[in-house]
Amino acid sequence: MRKGRTAGIPAWKRGLLVGLVGLAAVGAAAGIRDRQEERDRAMVMGDASGEETVSSSPDSQEESRETKKIALTFDDGPHPRYTEELLDGLAERKVKATFFLLGQNIEGREDIIRRIAEEGHLIGNHTYYHVDITRLTQREACQEILETSKKITAITGQPVEYIRPPFGNWDKELECEVMMLPIFWSVDTLDWTTRNADQIVQKVVTDIEENDIILMHDSYDSTVKAALRIIDLLQAEGYEFVTADELILE
Ligand SMILES: [Zn+2]
């Protein structure tokens, strides 16, 4: 039935059609409504999915629109206290984030790193000693990166594929044993200098655009508070928080 027309209908409207037919099936199976009546209704709604319904159902159009994605990224961790506080808040809000870890912060904090991985966040490399990669020899640079990745992988069992180069300085010619993809940022919260949750929230909420990658540091109480408030505010505006790899690979 009406295959030709359905093919030309935008995806959100096709979803609406499928949803209606699904509802009809549920109603009939439960014996709540007359089966034939439901089928007829689905047909009618199907017919009505031409141009005229677009203006009459703005709500369903709103809901079906693609979500705006953004990524929260946290550098320099894990921190013995604030990383876990942040993880608690992220879990409550069902939000995934990205953590770029320093090799020198790994020892003794293995449980935190395991938790980051288990809860579905992305773990990246931030070098071992927070160095400017471009000021090192290739051998030194690779050692910084490989040692950090090795330590992370030993804990999570997962390869480390992404790096946030400290200071944003990346050497494109760098060739280590393992290929690393750099992930930079589009919004710098300057959280480490202000350490003021209100200012951090204000900056992000004012500047934010779809597909932004936000730079923060899970080393401060103010950052944890700000990050969770940012999530609450922007989720209410329809933003979805994803891991940073989702935004650079699109
Ligand atoms: Zn850093």
Q: Which of 198, 217, 221, 245 is catalytic?
A: 217
Whole-number Å distance, alpha carbon 59 to ligand 1 midpoint, is 43
H/E stretch holding 187 reads: strand 187-188
pLDDT in tens, 155-202: 999 999 999 999 999 999 999 999 999 999 999 999 999 999 999 999
* Rounded Cα gap, residues 207 and 214, in angstroms: 10
Question: Which CATH class name applies to 68-248?
Answer: alpha beta
Asked about 75 being catalytic, the answer comes back as: yes
Cα 118–chain centre separation: 15
Whole-number Å distance, alpha carbon 233 to ligand 1 midpoint, is 26
* Rounded Cα gap, residues 82 and 100, in angstroms: 14
pLDDT in tens, 115-146: 999 999 999 999 999 999 999 999 999 999 99
Report residue 30's pLDDT band, with 50, 70 and 90 as the boundaries: very low
Asked about 40 being catalytic, the answer comes back as: no
Q: What is the pTM of this model?
A: 0.75
The domain ranges of the chain are 3-62, 68-248
Q: Smallest Cα–Cα separation from 99: which of 112, 116, 119?
A: 116
Whole-number Å distance, alpha carbon 232 to ligand 1 midpoint, is 25
